[in-house]
Amino acid sequence: MISTALFFLFAGLAIACAISMVYHKNPLYSAISLVGVFIALSCIYITLAAPFIAAVQILIYAGAIMVLVVFVIMLLNLDEDKPLNRLRYLYAVGGGLGLFLLAQTFFIFYAVMRAPKQTVNADETVGKTLSIGTAMYSEYLLPVEIVGILLLMAIVGAVILARRLEQPKLELVVDNELERRNEAEIKDDYRIRL
């Protein structure tokens, strides 16, 4: 009974943080809301007797991945975008997809409730990191390597997006900043050359 109440509490928190993530226009606030989603999910993993996955969720996703996302947001220096009126039809598409996902959620809930209950041997399955490691690097080696390559591609893409200014434009930005600071006399100094 208590585990069910905790599940609904943390699931509601995850859904509220996810809605907050989508709602905010500032990407930094969205990233902080995503950290809230990750923390709520790790609490759900703890209630499901999976402490290793909960710790990995906090360390990897809420820690390392979100630091990377915040650095990318800071590197891109995103400005406020004007709303696009020509993409109004996407609200209807998003609403339709949301209804489809809601129907799919109810179907999965119905299918899980009708499935026969099977006993689980807790000594063999719960909390064994050795079985997770063995499965990751034997049976699921190809998906693990594919995820590694995808993460590498994401990092390379972030670096390419951050270096979107060409060299002459970047020098112009530096010159404009020095003129704004009334330091035009040091513009030709070799220490600030790019």
Give me the architecture of the 1-124 domain, per CATH: Up-down Bundle (1.20)
So where are the chain's domains?
Answer: 1-124
Asked if residues 194 and 170 have their Cβ atoms less than 8 Å apart, the reply is yes
Between these two residues, 193 and 98, which has the higher pLDDT value? 98
The winner for highest mean pLDDT among 29-38, 56-65, 76-85, 165-174 is 29-38
Grade residue 192 by pLDDT with cuts at 50, 70 and 90: low
| Predicted structure pTM score | 0.54
Of 95-99, 111-115, 146-150, least confident by mean pLDDT is 111-115
41 falls in which pLDDT band (50, 70, 90)? very high
